[in-house]
Structure 1
Amino acid sequence: MSSVPGSPNAPVEIAFFDVDETLITVKSMFRFLEFHYRERGLPPSAYEAAAGSLRRRSAAGVSRLVTNREYYRLYADRPREELFAHGRAWFDTEVAGGSLLHPPAVSALRRHQERGALIALVSGSFRPCLEPLAGLLGADEILCSEPEYADGRCTGRVDHPVIGVEKGRLARALMRRHAVSPARAAAYGDHASDLDLLLSVGHPVAVGGDMVLGAHVARVGGATLPGAVRAPDVSRSAPWRRTPVR
C-alpha cells in the first residue's frame, strides 16, 4: 500500500492518474494528430484546419464529450496498425525531447508503485498514445477512449468517450473489480473535467491551479501538486519521415 502527498499514513491500493497535463506536459491528442498528419505527408494546413475547428467549437461552449467524438472521426478509415505505429514513433520523439514527463506527478506515481499500489491511467486519449506511456511508467491499467475498429480500420466511432463522469464511472468499476474501497484509492487530475474522477476516491490530488479541483481538495482534505509546464513541440523539428507500418 502507498500514501498520497500530504497524507503520509493514508493507505492507497489503487492510484488513478489523468494523463494530459498531469503525468505529461502536453495534450497528447493534439500533438499526436499533428505528428500523424505529418507522417502521412499531409500539409500543415490540414492539421491547422482540423485542430482549429475543434478548438473553436470548444471555445464556443461545445462540450468535451462532443468534441472528443469529433476528434476520433478524424481517424476514420485509417489502419489500426498505422495508428499504433505512429503512436510509438510520436511517443519516442516526445520522450527524446526530454520534457514530456511531469516530474511531480511521475514521482508521486513512483512512490505509489514502491508501496504496492496498482496504477491506472485514465484519459480521453486513446491507446496508440497511451500504451507507450504505460509501458514506460509500468502502469497496470489503461482506462481510455476506445475507438471502434472494423476489418483492421478505425471507423471513427467512439461509444463512450472517457470524459467527465465516465472517468469516475470507470474508476469505480475498477475499484469494485479489485475489491478496493474508495477510501483506499487516490486520483490525480489537472482540470475541472477530472472532478468526478477525484470525487470517486478518498485521496484526491489536484495538479496545478484549477479552481474547481482546488476547492474540492481543500474541502475534503486532499492534496495538490504543481502544474505542468508545456513542453516545446519537438516533433516539428524532427526530420520528416514516414513511420513504416509493420
Structure 2
Amino acid sequence: MTAPAEAGASAGLAASGGGGRAVAFFDVDETLIPAKSMVAFWRWWAAREPGLLPSIDALLARAREEGRRAEVNQEYYRAFAGIPVTEFLAVGREWYAEYRTGRDAFVTAALAALHEHRAAGHAVVLVSGSHRACLEQLAGELGAERLLCTEQVVGPDGRLTGGVVRPMIGEAKVTAVRAFLKESGIPAGECFAYGDHSSDLPLLSGVGRAGVVGEDPVLLEHAERFGWRRLSARTGPWFPGGG
C-alpha cells in the first residue's frame, strides 16, 4: 500500500461541476482530534467535581465487549440525567477551552485538510457520535456550518433526562448526511468525507471522495482499492487556516 498522504498533499478539491456547493464531512474523535471526546470530557469533569460521576473505567471495559456498544452508549448518557442542560453545555465550553491548548490536541493532517476545504469554498460539516457539549466550541473554531451529533433529550424543567434522540454512530451517520444533502440539494458525488475507523465506512462510501486518517486496516483496504486519500494520524497543536 502507498504511504499516507501528508498535510499538504492534493485532495482534488474542486467540485465535480454539478452546480451544488461541495461539502466536506469530518468525523471528529481520532480524526480531527486524537482524543475520544466523550471520555476526555467525563474524566475532566469527574476530576473537577469528585463524586459527581462514577468512574468511567468499568463502562469502557464493557464497551470493549462485542455487541455492547449501544448499551454502553446509553449508560454514558444516563449518568448525566438531572443535570441542567445549561450547566452541561457550560462545562463543555470550559473543557474544550482547556483541551484545545494542548500540544497534541489535534490531528494535524486532518486539520490541514479541513482548512484546505474551507479555502476552496467548501462547506464543512462535523459528523460525530459525541455530544454537543464536547463539540460546539470545536465546530465554531473550525468554521463548520453544521454539527451532526448525538442530541440529548432535555425535559420541560431544562434538565437532561439521560436519553438521546438517536446515537450518531455507525449507519446513523450516513443517514444524517443523506438527510442533510437532500435538504441542501447537493449531490453526494460532489462531496468529501474523512474518518478513522471501520465504523465510518458507510459515511466514506456514501460520498464522491473519501479520506482515511490513520491505519485502520479495513479503511486502508478500501483506500487502496478506490484511491482514497490517506492522512497521517500525527498530532500537534492548533494552527489557523484559510477560509
Shorter-chain TM-score bucket reads 0.7 to 0.9
User: Per-residue deviation at 1:129?
Assistant: 0.6
In the other structure, the counterpart of 1:241 is none
* Higher mean C-alpha displacement, 182-191 vs 96-105: 96-105
Q: Does 1:107 align with 2:112?
A: yes
**Distance in 1 separating the partners of 2:13 and 2:36:** 33
Instruction: Determine which of 66, 74, 83 is the counterpart of 1:69.
Output: 74
Instruction: Give 2:27's aligned residue.
Output: 18
> Which residue matches 2:86?
81
Unaligned runs of 5+ in 1: 232-246
Q: Partners of 1:90 and 1:7 in 2: how far apart?
A: 32
Determine which structure has the larger helix proportion and give its number.
1
What amino acid is the match of 1:95? R
- State the SS of the aligned residue for 1:123: strand
Distance of aligned partners of 1:7 and 1:132 in 2 relative to their CA distance in 1, 3 Å threshold: closer
SS of corresponding position for 2:116: helix
In the TM superposition, 1:110-125 aligns within 5 A as 110-125=115-130
197-206 vs 217-226, which deviates more? 217-226
| CA distance 1:38–1:9, change in 2 (3 Å) | closer
Q: Is it true that 1:191 corresponds to 2:191 in the alignment?
A: no
CA RMSD of aligned residues (A): 2.0
Match of 2:42 among 33, 57, 61: 33
Does the Cα contact within 8 Å between 1:88 and 1:128 map onto a contact in 2? yes
Query: What displacement does 1:162 show?
Result: 0.3
Q: Which residue of 2 aligns with 1:218?
A: 224
Deviations 1:139-160 (A, max 9, x none): 1100000010111111110131
Query: What is the TM-score with the length of structure 1 in the denominator?
Result: 0.85
Question: Paired residue for 2:3?
Answer: none
1:139 corresponds in structure 2 to: 144
State the Cα distance separating 1:134 from its structure 2 match. 0.8
The amino acid of 1:17's aligned partner reads: F
1:104-138 CA-partner distances (Å, limit 9, x unpaired): 11110011001111100010111111001011111
* Structure 1 contact 24–228 (Cα < 8 Å) conserved: no
Count of residue pairs brought into register by the alignment: 224
Residue 165 of structure 1: aligned partner: 171
Secondary structure at 2:91's aligned position in 1? Answer: helix
Distance (whole Å) between structure 1 residues aligned to residue 26 and residue 144 of structure 2: 10
Q: Does 1:155 align with 2:164?
A: no
Task: Provide the C-alpha distance between the structure 2 equivalents of 1:218 and 1:180, rounded to a whole number of angstroms.
Answer: 27
Aligned partner letter, 2:35: V
Q: Percent identity?
A: 39
Tell me if structure 1 keeps the 8 A contact 2:106–2:236.
Answer: no
Note the C-alpha offset of 1:70: 1.8
Query: Deviations for 1:8-61, whole angstroms, at most 9, x for unmatched residues?
Result: 265270000000111112110001011122333338xx55x3x22222212221
Maintained 8 Å contact 2:194/2:213:
yes
> Structure 1 residues 123, 32: CA separation in 2 closer, same or farther (over 3 Å shift)?
same
- 2:188 maps to amino acid: P
Change (3 A) 1:211 1:109: same
